[in-house]
Amino acid sequence: MMICDNRLILLSDRYISPVLMDYAVRSRIAVFPLKARLKAELAERFPGLHLISDDQAALTAQQPGKFYTNTEDCLSLLVDNSQDRNLVSNIEMCKNKLQFREMLRPLFPDYSFQVVRPGAVSQIRLDKGKNYILKPVRGLFSIGIRRVRNQDELNASISELESEICRYQDISPSVLDSSAFLLEECIDGEEYACDAAFDSSGRPVIYSIMHHPFSGPADFRDVVYYTSRSVMREHLPAVTDFLERITRLISIRNFPVHLEFRLCKGKLFPIEFNPLRFAAIGLSDLPFHAFGFNSFELYMENRIPDWDEILASKDNRFYFTVLGIIPPGRDRDRQELSGFRKSFDDLLYYEEFDPVKAHFSCLAMARTADREKMLQYLNTDFSEFYT
């Protein structure tokens, strides 16, 4: 096992994973918080953390190495400083959904997509009877996603999305932008998310596959995600095969990704790659609770999960997260979430957030053998918890 010498963790203040911090303290790996206030907070919360200066971070970012970011806010430091053109190119390909679709065209030659700009919507023609997905070319979380069926819905959605994205003034336009949207063929089927990495030799390594159910066809919210040994057994071969095909299209190494995809008639259709990170807002910690390993540690140290041993376990419970959705216009209202917290029978982790900073009210991580009870959280009326 070879461990890269040039390693760096870049952090914004949206969500600080305790599992990531545990590894960072133990390993003494270099950590660079984007904001001075966050640096001071982390120094107090995690004694022994190896925090570095702006100049040290820029110097570390210049050279090829292993990098991890907790949100896309951190990517600009790498893009602006790295001398590794391949790394920068792969970051841009992942963040720009149009480039991502173009990269995948050899694998999905019949899949249709096009760019829509707010001032040129009238030039777009939709096929009658088809459903489409509209989303920002540069996006984050599930912000700004709509399903459209005709020209009127497209016109209305563009106006809605411009206003919606304007509300997120704290997110850089390089991460979330309303100047261009991707209109793509709607893929029906169950949605999944996957945390993975391409290791130092370019081999794909999978750390978790999570089912992302919705309450209905118009629901694109990030409310419930869950994994289990049965989910991993069912989908690990297909996801591994897909990521191996990616390595035949591009050169990619030392690169963690959060992949989102849908399964339609047994075929995997990718939705997006999120570069140099795993799932956001705590979801990346789910494998620690479900399978007993630290994904961040395995990635940084070029190790792989022992899936044969893990899947031999008879633990058939579902490990899941619920993200508290902030109702429109309530982000500065008082939250009272004690009733929500008490609704879980086997709570593994719970944290409440500054809703303005995180864009969610809270994270709950739990486990259950009752799948239907877990899915009831999809219909939670979060407005009940605001006064």
- Angle value at C-alpha 134, between 132 and 136, nearest 5 degrees: 155
pTM of the model: 0.89
Q: Tell me the backbone φ, ψ of residue 257, rounded to 5 degrees.
A: -140, 150
pLDDT of amino acid 358: 72
The string of DSSP letters for 4-32 reads -S-EEEEE-SS---HHHHHHHHHHT-EEE
> What is the domain partition of the chain in residue ranges?
7-83, 97-185, 190-385
Report how far residue 166's alpha carbon sits from residue 178's, in angstroms, rounded to the nearest whole number. 8
> Which CATH architecture is the domain 97-185 placed in?
2-Layer Sandwich (3.30)
Alpha-carbon distances, residue 331 vs 38, 117, 283, 382 (angstroms): 22, 29, 22, 12
**Pairing label, strands 7-11, 30-33:** parallel
CB neighbours of 92 closer than 8 A, spacing ≥ 6? 79, 99
**Is there a shared CATH topology between the 97-185 domain and the 190-385 domain?**
no
pLDDT tens for each residue of the chain, 387 residues long: 566 789 999 999 888 999 999 999 999 999 999 999 999 999 999 999 999 999 999 999 999 999 999 988 899 999 999 999 999 999 999 988 989 999 999 999 999 888 888 777 767 778 887 888 888 887 666 677 888 888 888 888 887 777 776 666 556 566 566 778 888 998 889 999 999 999 999 999 999 999 999 998 878 888 999 999 999 999 999 999 999 999 999 999 999 999 999 999 889 999 999 999 999 889 999 999 999 999 999 999 999 999 999 999 999 999 999 999 887 767 666 778 888 999 999 999 999 988 777 778 899 999 999 999 999 999 998 888 876
Domain made up of 190-385: CATH architecture:
2-Layer Sandwich (3.30)
Cβ atoms of residues 178 and 136 within 8 Å: yes
